[in-house]
Chain A
Amino acid sequence: MRKLIGILLLAWVTLTSASIAQANETLKIGISGYPETLHPSFSSSAVQSYILGFVRRPIMVYNHDWKIACMLCDTVPSFDNGLAKKVPLADGKEGVQLSLSLPQNAKWGDGVPLTTKDVAFSIAVGQNTNVAVADKEVFDRIVDFNVVDDHHFTVTLDRIDYTYNAFMGVEILPAHLEKPVFDQDPATYQKRSLYVTAPATPGLWFGPYLVTKVITASAVMLEENPYWWGKKPQIAAIQLRNFENTAALEASLRAGEIDYTPGEVGLSLDKVIGFEKRFGDQYDISYKKGLSFYHLDVNTDFAPLGDRRVRQALLYAIDRNEISQKLFAGKNAPTLDFIHPDDPVFTDDVPHYPFNAAKADELLNNAGWARTGNAMRKNAAGDTLHFTLYGATESSTGQLIQQVLQNRWKQAGIDVDILNQPARVLFGETLPHRKFDGVAMFGWISAPEHLPLTILKSDQIPSAKNHYEGQNYTGYNNPKVDALIDQIELELDFNKRVPLWHELQKIYAADLPALPLYHGESGFIFPKWLKGIRPTGHMYPSSLWAEQWYRTDQ
């Protein structure tokens, strides 16, 4: 018996050491979340972009300097370099034709060259009316597509706006693998695609890494792509593991089972700050300001909040600075509006709302919500000033902030209930159907100088009539803003655009269809030996530059 135990122990030790040796070649990344699908066209979420960043590349991206750059093309077209030109369209309007070229040596993960055929196929898929791609608008704007040769193509877009040269959103699919599947029956393609049925097929991918193993909802395994044409990656294999519980993610990090957790889809900022306090000396921790805008969408059709004075009072009554200082160690500083301070079109010449209880009191009194003693405010009809503060169950940070806000508003005599719903319910039902009787707290991440067209324009208010299209959940309806957005969109001259942006911000900050909280920062926890990762701060994640990553311990 003792002998047997001895043998078992030996086996244990050897197997354990074997797995440690193997682990050294693999970078293990802990993420929180798992995408609905690995098919690039059918869904887009932060976690999906993060995973796909390793294994495929968009045609163009915003780079680390928040400028448009080519990834799967040679030159960004512009009117100046002649690769973009204005062309008349069939309906008499003016469109833009872009000439693009794919890298000569681009190949799929199975060695098949990546050519304009693939681009043509991808556009055909996106434009097919039986296919529900995540971003249909991108494809609707393409009025013409022409193949010049295997590596050159032109594409004509239906309008000339200030981002006319950003050909983004068309994800390249491998025609040699997916076309037969698609042609069989476009309507059911989404279910039969190899991205769904056999995601570890090498020919589906073309990044520095290939997907080699997928365990649905828990992990994705990546290995070096032998046909990658760019810089050879330094790290041979990458493991992405999903954690549904952040305490477990943190434990795995401390236990050394994962090496790294990225700010894009890892621990929330407050967790990283807490982690830094305790183990900051053992890790490299960095923070990145980002284009994620956290705010409270106000349902302006909910009577008490339809009054602009009440919305302004709500903002005066909360101390966003205190939240930043105390919950986020000074990060996530209060923001003026949806434009990030680092964005070139930002202005701070807009109404500010620092914490000011007296001002809130005055505004509420003017709006007819009087207060006697410490009771909740009532109007002349005797109704209490009351609304519901919605949020996502998944966001523990959000729930902290909610309780702080609720407390502050109670002090100001405003009765607030908190109601948290799973993200799917909040974003799939409550917000699009505008069923929220109060305000909803969430954030969205965008690109630099991104036009909030779907969020602010009055024809983007979701309703049964437009099939709940658009994200103007607040019901904001201001003809001036509608006009400004149209003007900005079509103004190609940056210097002429800037004043329009400033005007838009001023109106926004005065009207407050949403109460701005902060622009979110994200925290990255690196092991000391992992270098080369550069956070971007926008919707294009750091994994798109994964071939630059390296480790210093080998």
Chain B
Amino acid sequence: MRRFIFNRLWQTALVMVLVSFGAYVLIGLMPGDPIDLMITANPAITSADVARLKGLYGLDQPLMLRWLHWLWAAINGDFGYSRLFTQPVTTLIGPALVNSLKLMLASWALSLAIALPAGIYAALKPQSFRDYAINLAAFAGVSIPPFWLGLVAILVFAVTLHWLPAGGTGQLDNASGWGGLRYMILPVATLTIASVGSHIRFVRGSMIEVMRQDFIRTARAKGLSERGVVIRHALRNGMMPVVTLLGLEFGSLFSGALITETLFSWPGMGRLIYNAVIGSDYNLAMAGLMLATLVTLIGNLLADIGYKLLDPRVKLS
């Protein structure tokens, strides 16, 4: 087990380094040259200044070297300065991350709380009426364009019924407790509707798969009640792919939900990364992308470990 984790760790580190290089190259292809942007801000600049600035920012060096500089600084916790918000990148990411996590964790938990029972329930009687109904609902959820859903939610619950706020985090009104939670309801619901369908389908699929296995037949033959079979044998095995899925999705918690955040004026990571990319804010975009990638990779790693732990066939040595 230790060796497995060690192996996966260095693989993760390698992927991370490669991805950071790829992202660095891509971001270098975004329109605009950082020095040009500085020049437009300062008309009195001379060509000597331009050369000096290029040297200062390392732009006279080859791409590879610049990337290594960036990597070294990043490893030392220095992600540079956001050109767009004129603040250190790290101070910008903190609050955005907290906001995104709030939203994403809530919708994640809610979505799983719906998907697990619904998926299992559907899987127990495939092709039955209830299976069709649950499937239909699941497909409907994943097939709605998310911004359309969010807008309709705002129209109905905020504008027409005045039940819930149309946007914002409530931070400004110092809303706390329930007052603060009110602001989360619509965005969380929108996110949940968009994601619960694929969760249900996934849980259902992996449960059906398990219920077909020989050991379930054996368990049934032993005379266990259907309930006992499901709870004692099927669930444990059926949950393994679900763990993998959660691992994969872990990263999305940190890259935020751009569409929902934009519609509900929720200042999270999705909007931050988007604004950075659109605004050619190289440092911020790199930091945001790398954070999201790192967390996804860690999620995968955890999922693999969790998978090994859950899988009865894998011995822990």
Contact = CB atoms under 8 A, between A and B. Distances in A.
Interface of A: 8, 11-12, 15-16, 18-19, 22-23, 36-37, 39, 42-43, 129, 132-134, 136-137, 140, 190-191, 196, 213, 215-219, 221, 239, 241-245, 247-248, 251-252, 254-257, 421-422, 424-425, 428-430, 432-433, 467-470
B87 A468 contact: no
A428 B154 CA distance: 35
What class of interface size applies to chain B in its complex with A? Answer: 35 or more
A215 B95 contact: yes
Nearest to B38: A132
B179 A255 contact: no
A132 B42 contact: yes
Interface stretch (B123-131, B166-174, B208-216): B166-174
A244 B81 contact: no
Contacts of B87: 196, 216
Interface string B75-86: 000000100111
Contacts of B154: 248, 251, 255
A417 B66 CA distance: 37
Interface string B175-186: 101110010000
A11 B178 contact: yes
A74 to B, nearest CB: 32
B278 A424 contact: yes
Which of B33, B42, B46, B88 has the most C-beta atoms of chain A within 10 angstroms of its own C-beta?
A: B42
Contacts of B169: 218
A213 B169 CA distance: 14
B109 interface: no
Interface in B249-280: 262-265, 267, 271-272, 275, 278-280
Contacts of B47: 467
B32 A428 contact: yes
B162 interface: yes
A113 B86 CA distance: 29
* 4 tightest A-B CB contacts, nearest first: A132-B42, A15-B179, A255-B158, A218-B267
23 contacts: A12-B182, A15-B178, A18-B179, A22-B173, A23-B173, A36-B84, A36-B85, A132-B41, A133-B42, A134-B41, A196-B86, A215-B172, A216-B85, A251-B151, A251-B167, A255-B154, A424-B278, A425-B31, A425-B32, A429-B32, A433-B36, A468-B39, A470-B43
B86 A191 contact: yes
Contact of A242 (B85, B179, B265): B265
Contacts of A256: 162
B165 interface: yes
Given A12-B178, A239-B172, A245 B278 contact: no
A469 B39 CA distance: 8
B68 interface: no
A220 to B, nearest CB: 9
B144 interface: no
Contacts of A22: 173-174
Given A196-B87, A424-B280, 4 more contacts: A15-B175, A251-B155, A430-B31, A467-B47
Contact of B39 (A140, A244, A245, A467): A467
A463 B264 CA distance: 42
Contacts of B73: none
A252 B172 contact: no
A100 B163 CA distance: 55
B44 interface: yes
A172 to B, nearest CB: 20
Contacts of B178: 8, 11-12, 15-16
Interface of B: 31-33, 36-47, 50, 81, 84-88, 92, 95, 151, 154-155, 158-159, 162, 165-175, 177-179, 182, 262-265, 267, 271-272, 275, 278-280
A33 to B, nearest CB: 11
B31 A245 contact: no
A43 to B, nearest CB: 8
A15 B36 contact: no
Contacts of A467: 39, 43, 45-47, 50
Contact of A424 (B32, B38, B165): B32
Contacts of B264: 248
Contacts of A216: 85, 87, 92, 95, 267
Central interface residue in B88, B158, B182, B265, by most chain A CB within 10 Å: B265
Contacts of A11: 177-178
A251 B167 CA distance: 9
B145 to A, nearest CB: 14
A39 B86 contact: yes
Contacts of B88: 191
Given A134-B41, A424-B32, A243 B85 contact: no
Contacts of B166: 248, 251-252, 255, 257
A2 B265 CA distance: 34
Contact of B31 (A12, A137, A241, A429): A429
Contacts of A191: 81, 86, 88
Contacts of A15: 175, 177-179
A237 B275 CA distance: 29
A126 to B, nearest CB: 11
A136 B43 contact: yes
Contacts of B158: 251-252, 255, 257
Contacts of A219: 168, 171-172
A370 to B, nearest CB: 37
Contacts of B151: 247-248, 251
B36 A429 contact: yes
Contacts of A433: 36
B31 A215 contact: no
Contact of A428 (B81, B155, B162, B280): B280
